Amino acid sequence: MTGPMTSRSAVQHAATMIQPAASAGGLIRGTVKTLMTVTEAGVETDAGESVHARQAASCLLAPAIGDRVLLCMIGGETYILAVLERESQHAAEISVPGARKVTISAGEKLELNAPSMSLAARQLTLLARSMAQTGQFLTSNFKTIVETVVDKTIGARSLTTKAEIRTAIITEVEMLNAGTLVQNIDTVATQNSEIALVTAQRDVRLDAERVSVG
Instruction: Give per-residue pLDDT as tens, 84-134.
Output: 999 888 888 888 888 888 888 899 999 999 999 898 999 999 999 999 989
- Other CB atoms within a 10 A radius of the CB of residue 152 amount to 6
Q: How far is CA 17 from the centre of its chain?
A: 47
pLDDT of residue 25: 57
Pairing of strands 50-55, 77-85: parallel
Length of the chain (residues): 214
List domains and CATH numbers for the chain.
21-99 (2.40.50.140)
CA 111 – CA 62 distance, rounded (Å) = 22
| pTM reported for the whole predicted model | 0.59
Name residue 212's amino acid: S
Residue 161, pLDDT above cutoff 80: yes
Name residue 191's amino acid: Q
